[in-house]
Amino acid sequence: MINTLATRQSIEGWGVSLCWWARMCGEWSDEKIDMLVDWMVSPTGLNWNIFRYNIGGGDDPDHAHCEPHHMGKGKGLRAEMEGFQDKLNGPYHWERDKGQRKIMLKIKERRPDAIFEAFSNSAPWWMTYSGCCAGNKDPNMDNLKPEYYRAFAEYLVNVCKHYKDKYGIEFKTLEPFNEPVTDYWYANGSQEGCHFSMEEQVKFIRILHPILEASGLKTVLACSDETDTRQSVKDLLYYQQQGVMNLVGQWNTHTYSATNRSRSQVGSLARSEGKTIWMDEVGAGGSGLSGNLNLCQKFFDDMHYILPSAWIDWQFVEENNDQWCLARGSFADENSIKRVPNYYVRQQVTRFIKQDYTMVTSTSRKSLAALNPGADTLVAVLLNSGNRPAVHNIHLPGIKPTGKPEVYRTEESKYMQPIELQDTIVNSGLSISLPASSITTLVLPIERLTIPTANTVHEGTFMIVPQSNCEMALSGVNGRIQLAPSNASDKSQLWTFTYVEGKYRLTNGVGETITDTGKYALAAIGKTAEGQLFHIEPVEDYFYKITNTEGQAFDLQDQILLEGTPVGLYPYGPSVSADTRNWQLIPIGL
């Protein structure tokens, strides 16, 4: 089901990091650079508008503490970033990093509305314990010396200020960390990296924030760019505990390692703090189009569960694979560059779901959907990453198609092909056949039959969907309340909320009313009583807790999110990270 009444996050944009490919491609001819930039920013290309500029730390040019060109062992010499300052209180060498800078300036010229973030992988070598910007000799140890915290903070802010003063680029955000609580970063490693424990992150933020504030820039801090959403949850909870979330303007996470539960937890925690949230780096292995579609499933899961306002790729150009990039070629031969299938897979989303579009709820992990600002166009993107044909049966409550959709499809050897839709479209929905290993986009003109309004009283008929599994819904089955596969045609899942003196009675389409039995498990019976009234309260922008008069919340038994899981009552707890006690209310009839 795609439901335009259940709106979600507004889209700030899509984009990519400039590290490290831009350092290399920035040496190409203006003609080739212009072509690359057009592929990225054109409305008929990827329509990207967000770009992450890497502030290099820079290794010791004399290699006194590490092997010469040690980064060439892994990522290639492209990963050797230049730093701007060679010693404490030394002069800044602004002529450095010309390749990445040239790409960024070309983007700004071609896309004046572009949003830029500055991020750091490591402090300059001379600020570190190891004397190597790839990390400490012990990868589990921090590498930035505490006596250089202020110097590093000033270094980052001075770079940001230089780009504002010299080039008119004011970074929206400054991210001082990159996957800080990992054991990835070690001396003589293959890229810049710096371990920061959660404790040291907080200490550094307390030094960096006032320096950034005093700079006169509008730039705000972004944190903490962990590689794993489970660690990102830990970081955010620790920041809350230490009282520094007020110093952070945006929360960023990577999703190299992620579960849908931790995705939804970190999204809820950030929104409860009033923070924008970005998914700002990810990639995946595999091969060919199937590998690209598997990464696209990560994309869909991030959008469903984190609810980020931006989703950002890692590399645009690679030499030796077609998975971690969208264009491939030799950095030494600009004429070798070609777009790979991953480009068109991404384009199926980013070309059509544009800035300021609003995501709407879909109860399938295999689909994304959004409304344009005028709410007269619905974009639906449908994924079939399997090796057999599939059918998407889509229920569309609350809207009426007003014309034929534009349809585009990418499959093996056919990229972004316009197709004629042969499947049936009716007022209540549509059924679409999808080839194996394909992604399809529909741009459908619509009329909304019901317009949602801001109303603190939730009267009407709703599906009740657990926060961390969009494909399940609360159902009344033989007198039990449990999870079942989401189905908007199943009356046992359609709950009418009746408002009674500040509380609600919940009765489904087969006449079963949810009852507090006085024990853990909830029941569904065919008569009403005072004990069947519940409070409904928001826990953040999109999710609610449902509690009895004693404050016990609707809860998934043993935190299980699968079909058949009983729903009972349990203390809600102190945090919105209690995702198995949070619910989305999807309106079916208002």
pLDDT digits (tens, 9 = 90+) for 287-306: 999 999 999 999 999 999 99
pLDDT value at position 575? 87
Residues 328 and 423 in one domain: no
Residues 117 and 93 in one domain: yes
Tell me what the mean pLDDT of segment 540-560 comes to.
94
Closest CA to 80 of 52, 57, 105: 57
Task: Read off the pLDDT band of 423 (50, 70, 90).
Answer: low
Residue 229 lies in a domain: yes
Q: Across the strands, what pairs with 128?
A: 144
Do the strands 220-228 and 250-257 form a parallel or antiparallel pair, or are they unpaired? Answer: parallel
Supply the CATH number for residue 532's domain: 2.80.10.50
R_g over Cα of the chain:
25
* Cα–Cα distance measured from residue 314 to residue 317, given in angstroms and rounded to the nearest whole number: 10
Question: Distances in Å between the alpha carbon of 313 and those of 40, 109, 328, 350, 359?
Answer: 11, 21, 15, 12, 19
Residues 121 and 228 in one domain: yes
* Cα–Cα distance measured from residue 317 to residue 292, given in angstroms and rounded to the nearest whole number: 15
What pLDDT digit, counting tens, does each position of 187-211 carry? 999 999 999 999 999 999 999 999 9
Residue 1 lies in a domain: no
Question: What is the domain range of residue 257?
Answer: 12-355
Domain boundary among 417, 448, 479: 448
What pLDDT digit, counting tens, does each position of 70-89 carry? 998 888 889 999 999 999 99
Residue 307 lies in a domain: yes
Residue bearing the bigger pLDDT, 169 or 392: 169
pLDDT value at position 33? 98
Tell me what the mean pLDDT of segment 332-336 comes to.
97
Residues 155 and 224 in one domain: yes
Tell me what the mean pLDDT of segment 470-480 comes to.
93
Residue 2 lies in a domain: no
pLDDT value at position 96? 98
Tell me what the mean pLDDT of segment 415-442 comes to.
85
Count of domains observed in the chain: 3
Residue 454 lies in a domain: no
Domain boundary among 310, 334, 355: 355
pLDDT value at position 18? 98
Residue 545 lies in a domain: yes
pLDDT value at position 518? 83
pLDDT value at position 431? 86
Do the strands 173-175 and 220-228 form a parallel or antiparallel pair, or are they unpaired? Answer: parallel
Residues 298 and 348 in one domain: yes
Task: Read off the pLDDT band of 527 (50, 70, 90).
Answer: low
What pLDDT digit, counting tens, does each position of 350-378 carry? 999 999 999 999 999 999 999 999 999 99
* Cα–Cα distance measured from residue 47 to residue 114, given in angstroms and rounded to the nearest whole number: 10
Question: Distances in Å between the alpha carbon of 136 and those of 120, 142, 181?
Answer: 16, 7, 13
pLDDT value at position 397? 85
Q: State yes or no: pLDDT of 132 exceeds 90.
A: yes
Residues 478 and 350 in one domain: no
Q: State yes or no: pLDDT of 34 exceeds 70.
A: yes
Q: State yes or no: pLDDT of 48 exceeds 60.
A: yes
pLDDT value at position 528? 58
Residues 368 and 351 in one domain: no
Residues 402 and 516 in one domain: no
Q: What's the number of CA atoms in the CB half-sphere (13 Å) around residue 488?
A: 23
Domain boundary among 448, 475, 505: 448
Supply the CATH number for residue 432's domain: 2.60.40.1180
Q: Across the strands, what pairs with 556?
A: 567
pLDDT value at position 400? 87
pLDDT value at position 581? 97
Residue 535 lies in a domain: yes
DSSP-derived letter for residue 498 is: E
Task: Read off the pLDDT band of 525 (50, 70, 90).
Answer: confident
Q: State yes or no: pLDDT of 456 exceeds 90.
A: no
* Contacts by residues 495-499 (CB-CB < 8 Å, ≥ 24 positions apart): 495/461, 495/462, 495/463, 495/464, 496/460, 496/461, 497/458, 497/459, 497/460, 497/461, 497/462, 497/536, 498/459, 499/457, 499/458, 499/459
Q: What is the pTM of this model?
A: 0.96
Residues 195 and 287 in one domain: yes
Percent of the chain residues topping a pLDDT of 90: 86
SS3 371: strand
Residues 432 and 470 in one domain: no
Supply the CATH number for residue 340's domain: 3.20.20.80
Task: Read off the pLDDT band of 477 (50, 70, 90).
Answer: confident
* Cα–Cα distance measured from residue 493 to residue 483, given in angstroms and rounded to the nearest whole number: 9
Alpha-carbon dihedral angle through residues 11, 15, 16, 18, given to the nearest 10 degrees: -120
Residues 340 and 382 in one domain: no
What pLDDT digit, counting tens, does each position of 489-521 carry? 999 999 999 999 889 999 999 999 999 888 899
- Average pLDDT in the chain: 94
Lowest mean pLDDT among 33-42, 49-58, 569-578: 569-578
pLDDT value at position 120? 98
Residue 453 lies in a domain: no
Residues 344 and 367 in one domain: no
pLDDT value at position 577? 87
Lowest mean pLDDT among 335-349, 413-427, 458-472, 559-573: 413-427
Tell me what the mean pLDDT of segment 44-68 comes to.
95
